[in-house]
Amino acid sequence: MLTRQLATLPRFESIEEERLHRKQRLAGAFRLFARYGFDEGVAGHITARDPEHTDHFWVNPLGVHFGQIQVSDLLLVNADGKVVEGHLPVNQAAFAIHSSVHQARPDVISAAHAHSMFGKSWSAFGEPLEPITQDACAFYGDHAVFDDYTGIVLEVEEGQRIAAALGDHKAVILRNHGLLTAGQSVDEAAWWFIAMERACQSQLLVRAAGKPILVEHDQALKTASQVGSSLAGWFSFQPLWDKITAEEPDLYG
Ligand SMILES: [Zn+2]
């Protein structure tokens, strides 16, 4: 039987323990992204800041399916984009985007980006999500739109502009591209990505169907404070973690 105290963040005895925890959560997040169908060829990356070398991050290797990633596959990339642990190559776009986000936001432990179907479809409108549901309110007043698509992000300078657009929010919609989410844990960043993808699906359904009644501004802000907190994001991930580790324990390999 599963037992969990409500909203108890993990504590660590050592840097090594914290590093392993982040890497395991990262592998679990990739397996979940595969389950949700967020893969698109070799696109997409989730990163976790190293707890010791805080200008380094852990990331998936280029060309390995999300659904087959194990802890031992993860790469450690330094501030210059060099792989310092691991043998496979890193996605250049992953470095350009994520290094900029991690540098601009010291509070961000993890960032997630993928070319998921509904996120990239909604991104083509170049508009923020509307407060159409309680769930969508998690992003109310807390996401931005990067309205400047210029091809695959390969330069750090463009990554810096994406980081600037993200500002102090939890997410940014990259127009004609997809979603990027950030959090104080891998759990949180991964959950916001899953939740935002579903909010985009809901938004597209509503837009196609007609004119919705929006949650009023004050109520949307109140709801955002309830369902959109860092702790709420972390907690929402925990049942998914339990399920994926029970069903795919090889992710620990
Ligand atoms: Zn991309």
Q: What is the pLDDT of residues 218-238, one digit of tens each?
A: 999 999 999 999 999 999 999
**Token pair for 185:** 């844990």
Q: What is the whole-number distance in angstroms between the Cα of residue 74 and the centre of ligand 1? A: 19
What does pTM read for this prediction?
0.96
Classify 214 as helix, strand or coil: coil
Work out the mean pLDDT of the chain and round it to a whole number.
95
Q: What is the whole-number distance in angstroms between the Cα of residue 167 and the centre of ligand 1? A: 19
Q: What is the whole-number distance in angstroms between the Cα of residue 2 and the centre of ligand 1? A: 36
Distance between CA atoms of 66 and 218, rounded to whole angstroms?
Answer: 39
Please tell me the least confidently modeled range out of 18-22, 37-41, 133-137, 151-155: 151-155
Q: What is the whole-number distance in angstroms between the Cα of residue 115 and the centre of ligand 1? A: 6
Distance between CA atoms of 138 and 229, rounded to whole angstroms?
Answer: 8
Classify 35 as helix, strand or coil: helix
pLDDT at 2: 61
Q: What is the whole-number distance in angstroms between the Cα of residue 1 and the centre of ligand 1? A: 39
Report the amino acid identity of residue 30.
Answer: F
In the predicted structure, residue 71 carries a pLDDT above the cut 70 = yes
The label of the residue with tokens 């993808």 reads 197
Report the amino acid identity of residue 137.
Answer: C
Q: What is the whole-number distance in angstroms between the Cα of residue 123 and the centre of ligand 1? A: 12
Distance between CA atoms of 165 and 55, rounded to whole angstroms?
Answer: 21
Q: What is the whole-number distance in angstroms between the Cα of residue 134 and the centre of ligand 1? A: 28
- 104 neighbors 164 (Cβ within 8 angstroms): yes
